[in-house]
Chain A
Amino acid sequence: MPSDRPPRLQLGDIVSTYDEGGRRLTAIDGISLTVGVSEFVALVGPSGSGKSTLLDIVSGLIAPDRGQVWLDGEPTIAAQRLGRSAYMQQRDLLLPWRTTLSNAALGLEVSGVPRRDAEHAAAAELWRFGLEGFGDVYPAQLSGGMRQRAAFLRTILPRKELLLLDEPFGALDALTRSDLQSWLATLWEQERTSVLLVTHDVEEAIFLADRVVVLTSRPGRIASELIVSLPRPRTRAMIASPAFIRDRAALLSALGLLNGPGA
C-alpha cells in the first residue's frame, strides 16, 4: 500500500464498556490498530475479547466510551460512520420475503439506488458468487453456503471502501467453509477492498489476511500482531507450506493454545 495515503481505518485507544446486572464491565480496553488501503486484516481472539463490539464501533452502530476512529484520515463520530463500511455478520440475515436478487440488492437500495437498478447490478454479479439461476428463489430455498454467498454479494455490491466481516463462515460446515474461504481469497484478489475480518479460526485468518491481530480475553486488548508470510495469490495448497505452519504456531502460542515453548 502507498505510504502517502492515510490508512482506510485507524482506531486510537478505543475503550468500550457495557452493563451487566448493574455492573460496568470493560469489553475493550485501549485497542489501537490500523487497516491500510487494500489491506486485509484479521482479528483473532477468544470469545469475550470484544471482537464483535469493535466491528459495531467501526460500523457506527455503537459509540466507544473513549477513543477515536479515523476513516481515510478523518476523525469521525459514530453517526458519521453509518453507511461508510459494509458489515457482514455470522448469520446471513437474508430477508425471507425477498428473492436472492433483491436481497443482494438491499445494500445498494439503502444507499439510494432505485430498486430496479440495484437488482440489475446484483444480477450481473450472480455468476461470480455461484448463484447463477438462483436469483428468483427465496432464501429458504438456498443451501447454507449459497445463503452466505448471497449475503457476501449484498455486502460487496455497494462497493464500500471498507468491509467488516464478523465470522462470516462461522455457521457453515467444515467443507463449505473451506470452499468459501478459497472463493473469498480469489474474490478479494479481484476487489482489493480494505477488510477487517473477525474470526476465532487461526487458519482462516492466516489463509485470508495480510496481517493478523491477536486479542486477549475480557477485556480485549491487543496481545500481538503477525505479518502473514504467505505470498498472494493464495491457494489452498499453501496451508501445508512451512510458512503457514510457522505462522500458525506463532498465533496459537500468542493465544496461549500451544503447550511447551512457543514459536
Chain B
Amino acid sequence: MPDSTFLDSTELVLNMGPQHPSTHGVLRVILKLDGEKVLGTECVIGYLHRGVEKIAENRTYAQFNPYVDRMDYVAAVSNGLGYCLAIEKLLNVEAPPRAQAVRVILTELNRIASHLLWLGTHALDIGAITPVFYCLREREEALKIFEKYCGARLTTHAFRIGGLLYETYDGFEQEVRTFCDMFLPKVDEYEELLTNNRIWVGRLKNVGILNADECKEYGVTGPVLRASGVKWDLRKAQPYSGYEKYDFEIPTRRNGDTYDRYMVRMEEMRQAVRIMRQAVDGLPEGAIMGKVGKVIKPAMGEAYVSIEAPKGELGYYVVSDNSTQPYRVRVRPPSFVNLQALDRMVRGGLVADVVAVIGTLDIVLGEIDR
C-alpha cells in the first residue's frame, strides 16, 4: 500500500465507540487513519468504572463475593471461583472434593457459555449473522443449568468461600451429560458454517498477528497466547480445584492471527466438554463445604491466586489485615491486559481489521473498567 494517495490526504482521526456495536461494550478507540490504513490507535476506557476494588475494602469477605460476578459478567462463575480460591488460600483451607468437582463442571460450562457468546458476536461483527442464533440457543441450555443450580443465569454467585452453598439438584448429572452429548455435534456445526467459509477465512487470516514473544512482552494470556504457539494454560501449569485429575489437551496454533484464535477457542470448547464428562462421571460424594467459620477473618498476610478464565489469566491479589474486611483486593483482569496489545495488532492494518481484532480479543468491558 502506498504511503500517500494521489489525493495527498491528511491523517484522519476517527472515533470508534463508545457506542459502537462491535466494540462489545463501552470501549472507545480513537483511530488515526490514512485512508483505510490504521496508523495508530488509542483506547479510552473507564466508562463502566464502578470502583470494585474500593467496594471490596468496605465489604466483608463473603459480602464481596457477589460483586466479582459483575466484572466479567459473561463468565461470572470463573470470577467467583478465582475469588473463592484466593480467600481459601489466605485461610489455608481447601474445598472438599465434591465441591471441587462441581466447581470444575460449572466453570467449564461457563467457559463454553462465554466462548459461545464470543463466537456469536464475533461472527456477527464479521458479517455472519447465522451463528449468533445457534450460539445463543446452545448457551441458553448452559444458562438453564446455572439457573437450576444456583438460581441465577448470569450473575450466578454460585460458589461460597470454602466450598458450595447449594447441593446439586436432582438430575444435575444427567442434565450435564445431556448437554455434553448435545453440544459436541453443535461445535462441528459451527465449524461447518465458518471454518472453511471464504469470507470468514479472508477476513481473519493474517489479521492482527501477535507472535509468542510479543504476547509475553504484553502479558497477553488465554486463547490469544495459545494461538501464538505457547502451550500454556494455568489449569495445567499450576492446577487448581482438582484440574490435575482430568485429562485434557491444551489446543495451540502457530500463526497467532485472528483465525488461529478462533480455532483455539473452538477446540477449547471441545476440551471443556471432555473435562465436564470426566468430572461428572467421577463426581465424588461427600461434604460440599470446607471448614470455614461463619466469620471469615484470615490472618495478616497476602496471597495472589490466579485461574484460567475464558479470557486468560484472572488473578486476585488479596491483602488481609486480620479483620473481617479485605485490606486490599486487586483484580488482575485478563481483558484489560489483553486489550493493551490492540495497538500492536492493528497498526498497519485496515479499519475493518480493528473490528475483527477487538472481536477476537474477547474483551468484556465490565472487567476492563471494573
Answer yes or no: are A and B bound together in one complex.
Answer: no
Interface residues of A, Cβ cutoff 8 Å to B = none
